[in-house]
A and B are shown apart, each in its own frame.
Chain A
C-alpha cells in the first residue's frame, strides 16, 4: 500500500497517464451514469407522487424528496456501487492479467515501482473525475423526475419545480461529492490490490475481479454509514 502512494518516478509521465485513465475509466462512464440517473430520477419522482398521496402533504414535498434522495444517497452511493462493477472489473482484470503474464515482474526488474506506476494514476484520476459524475447524476435525476411529471401529470410541474428549490441545503451537494471522492478511492484501490496479487492463471484473474467487486461494494456501504455519521450528525 505504501508503495502505491509515493511520488511517481516521472511526474510528467504520471500526468499523462492520469489523463488517459481519466478518459478510460471516468469519461466512458458518462453514458451509463446518465441513463441510470434519468430513469431512477423518474422512478423516484413517481414513487414519491404515488406514496405521498395525502391531502395533508403539500405537493411540493414530492420534488423536495426526489431531490434529497438523489443528492444524499443515489448520486453518490448507488452510482459508486455501479461504478464498482464497471470500473472495478476493468482495473482488477487489467492489473491481474499483467501480473500473471509477468508484465509486472518486467517492470520491477527495470527498477520501476510498478504498484505506484499502475495504480496511482487510476486513483487520482477517479478521485478527481467521479465527483463530476455525482453532480451530473443529480442534475439528470432531477430532470428525469421533471420529465416524468411533465409527461404523466401526476402532479403539476410547477409544484415539482418549487419542491426542487424548496429549502435547499448546499451542504448536501458537498456531502455527496465528499462521499464520492472517498468511494472512488475504494473502487480503484481494492480491485487494483486484488489484481496486483492475482495468481493462478486466467481463472485466478476472473476470481480476483469478482472478489474485488464484492469487497469494494461492502466497503462502500460501510463507509457510507461512517461518513453519514461523521458529516451529517
Chain B
C-alpha cells in the first residue's frame, strides 16, 4: 500500500501539483488518470523519488516515510520498486537479456547462471521468447514495453509504477499490456500505480482510479462508478470521444 498526503510540487514557481492526497492499494491496479499536462508523470516521479517534493508525505506500507529516507535507505528500498517508463527507457547499449540482467548484475550476488535463469523466467512471463539477443531498436513498441516490464519485475518488486504503459501502442496491444500488468500485480500482490489518459485502460483494469485535473485531485473511485460520477471535469474527460458520447446516449436511452 502507498499513501500520499498533501503532495505539493512546483518547478521554478510554476505549480504542478497542488496538495494531492490519495491511497493506492496492494494487489490492485491503481490508476492515475487525467489530461496530458495535468501532472501525472510528475506525481509518479515524486512518489518514486525521482523528483523531490516541496512538501507532503509519501508513505510506503504505512510505516516508511519514503520522502524522508536517507540516500542509503532509499537505495535499499529501490530493490522493491520497479518502474515502467513512458518510452520504455530500455538501455540502447544492451540487448534484451542484458537489459533485464542490468539490475541483477548491479545489485545482486547472483551467479551468471542464476541471472540467466531469472532473466528467462521474467522474459517468459511477459511472452518474449527467442529475442534475447535483439537490441531495443530492433523491437516493436509493444515488445519494448514487455521487455521493460520484464526488467521492472526482475527483482520481484513490491511496488510497480507504470507511466502511460500503452502510449504509442495500438488498441489491441494496449489491452494485452494492461492485462499483463494486472495479472502480474495480482499474482505477486504488488502495489501497482499506472498513469494513463486512455479510457480503455480505465474500463479494463481500473480497480481504483484517481482523477487529476490541473494538478489537483478531483475525483477518486473505480471503473464501476466512474461512468456515473457527478463531476463535470471528469465527465468531460471520460466522455471526450465521439464513441464515448454515443455509447453514453445509448445507456441513457435504455435506462
Given contacts A111-B74, A111-B75, A112-B106, contact A106 B87 (CB under 8 A): no
Q: Mark B77-119, 1 if CB is under 8 A from A, else 0.
A: 1110111011101111000000000110111000000000000
Task: Assess whether B106 is in contact with A105, with CB atoms less than 8 Å apart.
Answer: no
The interface bits of chain A over 97-131 (1 if a CB of B lies within 8 angstroms of the residue's CB, else 0) are 11001110110111110000000000000000000
* Closest chain A residue to B103, Cβ basis: A110
- A109 and B76 CA atoms in complex are apart in Å by 11
Smallest CB gap from B41: residue in A: A102
Given contacts A111-B74, A111-B79, contact A101 B87 (CB under 8 A): yes
CB-defined contacts of A13 to chain B, threshold 8 Å: 105-106
List the A residue with the shortest CB-CB distance to B82. A109
A5 CB, nearest partner CB in chain B, Å: 16
Pick from B74, B89, B90: contact of A105, CB under 8 Å = B89
Q: In the bound complex, what is the Cα–Cα distance between A135 and B90 (angstroms)?
A: 40
Interface size class of A (residues with CB under 8 A): 10 to 19
Q: Which residue of B lies closest to A10 (CB)?
A: B106
**Residue B91 contacts which of A9, A10, A103 (CB distance < 8 angstroms)?**
A103
Per the bound structure, the CA–CA distance linking A10 and B109 in Å amounts to 11
Residues of A within 8 A of B90 (CB): 103
Q: Which residue of B lies closest to A20 (CB)?
A: B93
Q: Determine whether the beta carbon of A109 is less than 8 Å from that of B106.
A: no
Report the nearest B residue to A9, measured CB to CB: B106
Interface residues on B, range: 20 to 34
Contact: B78 with A111, CB < 8 Å?
Answer: yes
B-contacting residues, A1-28, CB 8 Å: 9-10, 13
B190 within 8 A of A: no
Taken together as a complex, chains A and B put the C-alpha atoms of A105 and B88 apart, in Å, by 11
Q: A109-B83, A111-B78, A111-B79 are in contact. Are A103 and B106 (CB under 8 A)?
A: no
Identify the closest chain B residue to A108 (Cβ): B50
Are A105 and B50 within 8 A (Cβ)? Answer: yes
B210 at the interface (CB under 8 A from A): no
- Could you name 19 residue pairs across A and B whose Cβ atoms are closer than 8 Å? A9-B107, A13-B106, A97-B92, A102-B86, A102-B89, A103-B90, A105-B45, A105-B83, A106-B85, A106-B91, A106-B151, A108-B50, A109-B78, A109-B82, A110-B103, A110-B107, A111-B75, A111-B76, A111-B78
Given contacts A103-B92, A108-B50, A110-B78, 12 further A-B contacts (CB under 8 A): A10-B106, A13-B105, A13-B106, A102-B86, A103-B91, A106-B85, A106-B91, A109-B78, A109-B81, A111-B74, A111-B77, A112-B106
